[in-house]
Structure 1
Amino acid sequence: MYDVVWVDFPCEAFKPSQRPGKISTWWHQFLKLRQQKGLEAAATDKPVIVLPKLNHSDFCPGFDVPGDLPAEVGQQEATRTIGETVSAFVALHWKGAEAKKASALELLKSQLAWTEGLLSPYLEAQDLERTAADHNVSSEGSSPFCSRAQHVLAGLSAADAQRLQVQDGFHITSPNLEHCHPTWTVDGKKLLVRSCSHTNYYPDISNTGKITAAEEIGCKLLSAERVAQQLQTHAEHQRLPCAAMNRVAVQVAEQLAAESTLRRYREKGRGWCFLDDSPSVAGPVWVFKDRLALKENSTCMAVQSPSMLTDVNARIYPGIHYCKLLSPARVLDWMMTDSLKPGSQSDLSIIV
């Protein structure tokens, strides 16, 4: 019998089953352990370390793992990095290696610090999908990204934007989202909007899923026309599409990304193409049927948002703007993995 210890050494060139979202789940568990027991204990017992510039095939020289991203170092350097890391972990648990424990621990600590810089942006991006602790509107939390979407799609001047306040209410289930509708309150010269949000996720049966970022973020917002009407002003940018917020998602992801992630993506990755919004015919159809569309081609990942936008004089739910949006965490997943692979030759009519 052996004492139970656990170590995970994934690579920066992520393979399909170890996408950044999957690794970030384990990293989040490591952070909890570090908070409970301290860095030294967590690093010794259950370190989660991403090895920079390596790929999965580097662990089995001579056999290229299908779907692997290219490594950025040669096999000799990769083998040295793997050997040093594994040796350091073993030294912390081998009674005959007392003299090496201090240096071994320092090596793992430095690698953990680098890993934190790589994976923290993904966790930050996921927090934009939903903040469970914000109960101002809903007991199920809020979506900071939907709050931001209301500000962006309102298209206000900088001065008028200061008068707009947004409180979002998150809904875990789609039926609850269906029955939630954005509301507003005017207080003097200020407008408080209460928006509604929900996220759909990729299948993850018995922890077999690959992508942990939201498949889409659903936001029920007020239209720019309604916001301007209630603030007694005029929007600088009229009727901005949901696609404008998808561009913001990419901008946010690039701002959050680790330096190595952003450099590699800009040098080798395929970017994003933003298609015109796809109009939904009714609210329930938008909630339950229509989905954010993502499709790769040879140059980009094309994204298209289902949307509903009504005039302030419409007979049914006037002055609303519903958007299914791209998650910044999903953008980071693309930047760190599939964007670096050759794309298909599918023809798409795109707006870049």
Structure 2
Amino acid sequence: MEKFTFILLLLATYQRVSSAAKCEILTPMGIEGGEIGIIMIPGANYPGERYIPLALRIQELMGSNKVWFGITEGWLLDTPNPVEIAGAINACRDQAEDLNLGGRMYLAGHSLGGVMLEQYLQSEENMAQYSGVILFGSYLTDFLFGIDNGYEVPALTVIGSIDGLSLTYALREWKESAEAETALGVTNKYPVYIADGVNHAQVGSGEVPDFVKERDIAAKMSDEDAHVVYAEIVKSFLILQNQDISDSTDIKIALEKTEELKAYTAEFLAPFITASLMETEEDNWMIRGQKILVSSSSEELQGLEVVNLVVPFEDLGDAKPSVVSANCTAVVTTYSQPQYDLDLFDAATLKSASVIKAKFKIEDVLRENLCLPEVPRKQCKDINIQALEVAMSLASEDALERFNEVGTKLIFTDDSVSPWGPGWEFSSGLHYKKINETHTSLYSTSLISEPDFIIAVAAGMHYCDLLSPYRALEWIYLTSVIGK
């Protein structure tokens, strides 16, 4: 219902104004080769003409094909919207026809422009007119039309390795597109690639809108060099989708480039895959967390086995950790529930768990079961410190260098111990507080019930709000460095 209401509100807003978007045609640079047309939809607050440099670079690299561009411009508030999009696209088609331009046509969109394209292409009639979709710093959203990336036409998703606005969605899109290709028994139809070293803004050129500047990661290279990175990826996609009208040498180069892109993307996403699995899989962060509370010595932990069960929130209150012990060994069962940020519009929200609600057995009991001497208790803070350390061990050298140079550092402070169960259960997650421009503090809410607690079933518990290593990884790559 929220999704439908959102669309109605958009339509109600824009129907009060007349359509203003228009089109500027960039004719092909060459006169031979197969003909391909690309119509470009800009991102929010980006005048369409700022995509001309990228379009020219793509035309230049696609030299053995006749590539023309339709650059849509003059959008209301320089922002694509559902009311104007059909008129803008049709204006490009009409002008191209007047210039005797045709061939196979593709729709390309940057950021919000990609979302508007997906909305436009929900019409089967519209979809049937195009040979594919190219998404820059955008993706096939789950917001409106579900998680199936099995589009009727090929769809390329390109997200920069320092794209502050879209990078968090890259892993999800990579997985969903791979699943779609597997289901259809095809390859290279829905590629998702990470573009090395470029950010969100650099799809366009010139002045960066404040909205993007505040949420993007600082550029590493010039816009001109970034356009080459983006253009080479587009070229490889277009060539492989149009092999019957492409030069054989270009096809060979495109195949090599595709393998290179696949390898780089898989390597780039590997840390995110590893960290994401720690939230829900059997061998997850909870197992490490319970052991961290008990001891820092691997020798002392030899007799401890931890089994964690991920439960829905409605079952979390009744779930109670338990332990079975014998002969200085123990098997403990813990419970967890990862919680995620509300993402109504499938945009600008981190995809990692905002907190892992963790129910551990108190370390006093486990150390006694393991025949170990009593030691001072640890805090949830100790587990969270190691979550960041794990994330730093997974992060790339490039991400770590940027984090160390400009990233906001986390200072872990002592837990806030709740005096009762609901105080922990509804603690609203981890608590961040800005200290200054370079440091932010973070603390957890915990709940401790002593081993001799009067209610036996609730005795000897240590409950924590945990920082997910995945969220810590996104802190390193994104949160700590955006807008700097």
Q: Considering the TM-score relative to the shorter chain, is it more than 0.5?
A: yes
Of 45, 52, 55, the residue aligned with 2:196 is 52
Q: Give me the whole-angstrom Cα distance separating, in 1, the residues matched to 2:448 and 2:283.
A: 20
Contact kept in structure 1, 2:218 and 2:483, CA below 8 Å:
no
Q: Give me the whole-angstrom Cα distance separating, in 2, the residues matched to 1:285 and 1:175.
A: 16
Coordinate RMSD, CA, aligned: 2.0
Of 234, 244, 268, the residue aligned with 2:406 is 268
- Report the TM-score, using the length of structure 2 for normalisation: 0.64
Q: What is the DSSP-based 3-state SS (H/G/I as helix, E as strand, rest coil) of the residue aligned with 2:157?
A: coil
Change in CA separation of 1:333 and 1:307 when aligned onto 2, cut-off 3 Å: same
Q: Give me the whole-angstrom Cα distance separating, in 1, the residues matched to 2:232 and 2:314.
A: 53
Contact kept in structure 2, 1:243 and 1:275, CA below 8 Å:
yes
Of 8, 11, 24, the residue aligned with 2:171 is 24
Q: Give me the whole-angstrom Cα distance separating, in 1, the residues matched to 2:412 and 2:335.
A: 24
Matching residue's letter, 1:74:
S
**For residue 346 of structure 1, what is the aligned residue in structure 2?**
none
Q: State the Cα distance separating 1:175 from its structure 2 match.
A: 2.4
**For residue 144 of structure 1, what is the aligned residue in structure 2?**
284
Q: What is the DSSP-based 3-state SS (H/G/I as helix, E as strand, rest coil) of the residue aligned with 1:152?
A: helix
**For residue 74 of structure 1, what is the aligned residue in structure 2?**
222
Deviations 1:219-256 (A, max 9, x none): 11111111112222215x52111000001110111112
Q: Give me the whole-angstrom Cα distance separating, in 2, the residues matched to 1:156 and 1:13.
A: 35
Q: State the Cα distance separating 1:143 from its structure 2 match.
A: 6.6
**For residue 63 of structure 1, what is the aligned residue in structure 2?**
207
Q: Give me the whole-angstrom Cα distance separating, in 1, the residues matched to 2:443 and 2:299.
A: 31
Q: Give me the whole-angstrom Cα distance separating, in 2, the residues matched to 1:143 and 1:285.
A: 28
Pair 1:334-2:479 in alignment: no
Deviations 1:157-198 (A, max 9, x none): 4322101111111102x2201000110101322111111111
Q: State the Cα distance separating 1:209 from its structure 2 match.
A: 5.5
**For residue 42 of structure 1, what is the aligned residue in structure 2?**
187
Q: State the Cα distance separating 1:56 from its structure 2 match.
A: 1.8
Change in CA separation of 1:109 and 1:121 when aligned onto 2, cut-off 3 Å: same
Aligned counterparts, 1:70-219, within 5 A: 70-94=218-242, 95-99=244-248, 100-131=250-281, 142=282, 144-155=284-295, 157-172=297-312, 174-208=313-347, 210-219=349-358
Q: Give me the whole-angstrom Cα distance separating, in 1, the residues matched to 2:447 and 2:344.
A: 32
Contact kept in structure 1, 2:164 and 2:482, CA below 8 Å:
no
Contact kept in structure 2, 1:222 and 1:319, CA below 8 Å:
yes
Of 397, 401, 410, the residue aligned with 1:259 is 397
Contact kept in structure 2, 1:57 and 1:63, CA below 8 Å:
no
Q: Percent identity?
A: 25
Q: What is the DSSP-based 3-state SS (H/G/I as helix, E as strand, rest coil) of the residue aligned with 1:10?
A: strand
Q: Give me the whole-angstrom Cα distance separating, in 1, the residues matched to 2:200 and 2:336.
A: 38
More deviation in 320-329 or 265-274? 265-274
Q: What is the DSSP-based 3-state SS (H/G/I as helix, E as strand, rest coil) of the residue aligned with 1:161?
A: coil
Contact kept in structure 1, 2:217 and 2:483, CA below 8 Å:
no
Q: What is the DSSP-based 3-state SS (H/G/I as helix, E as strand, rest coil) of the residue aligned with 1:179?
A: coil
**For residue 322 of structure 1, what is the aligned residue in structure 2?**
463
Structure 2 segments unaligned to the other structure (5+ residues)? 1-128, 132-152
Q: State the Cα distance separating 1:30 from its structure 2 match.
A: 3.2
Q: Give me the whole-angstrom Cα distance separating, in 1, the residues matched to 2:452 and 2:430.
A: 28
Q: State the Cα distance separating 1:26 from its structure 2 match.
A: 0.3
Q: Give me the whole-angstrom Cα distance separating, in 1, the residues matched to 2:318 and 2:387.
A: 26
Contact kept in structure 2, 1:143 and 1:197, CA below 8 Å:
no
Q: Give me the whole-angstrom Cα distance separating, in 1, the residues matched to 2:354 and 2:328.
A: 37
Q: Give me the whole-angstrom Cα distance separating, in 2, the residues matched to 1:342 and 1:27.
A: 26
Q: What is the DSSP-based 3-state SS (H/G/I as helix, E as strand, rest coil) of the residue aligned with 1:104?
A: helix
* Ranges of 4+ aligned residues in structure 1 off by more than 6 Å: none
Change in CA separation of 1:301 and 1:59 when aligned onto 2, cut-off 3 Å: same
Q: Give me the whole-angstrom Cα distance separating, in 2, the residues matched to 1:324 and 1:143.
A: 19
Pair 1:299-2:441 in alignment: no
Deviations 1:12-39 (A, max 9, x none): 12232x132x11110112333565578x
Contact kept in structure 2, 1:19 and 1:210, CA below 8 Å:
no
Q: State the Cα distance separating 1:53 from its structure 2 match.
A: 1.2
For CA contacts below 8 A with separation 6 or more, give which structure has more relative contact order. Answer: 1
Matching residue's letter, 1:188:
N
Matching residue's letter, 1:87:
K
Contact kept in structure 1, 2:181 and 2:190, CA below 8 Å:
no
Q: State the Cα distance separating 1:304 from its structure 2 match.
A: 0.8
Q: What is the DSSP-based 3-state SS (H/G/I as helix, E as strand, rest coil) of the residue aligned with 2:299?
A: helix
Matching residue's letter, 1:2:
Y
Deviations 1:95-141 (A, max 9, x none): 3214111211211221221111111211211110101xxxxxxxxxx
Q: Give me the whole-angstrom Cα distance separating, in 1, the residues matched to 2:259 and 2:407.
A: 30
Q: Give me the whole-angstrom Cα distance separating, in 2, the residues matched to 1:342 and 1:89.
A: 31
More deviation in 178-187 or 70-79? 70-79
Contact kept in structure 2, 1:183 and 1:193, CA below 8 Å:
yes
Pair 1:242-2:380 in alignment: yes
Deviations 1:302-326 (A, max 9, x none): 2111001232222242221100100
Q: State the Cα distance separating 1:85 from its structure 2 match.
A: 1.6
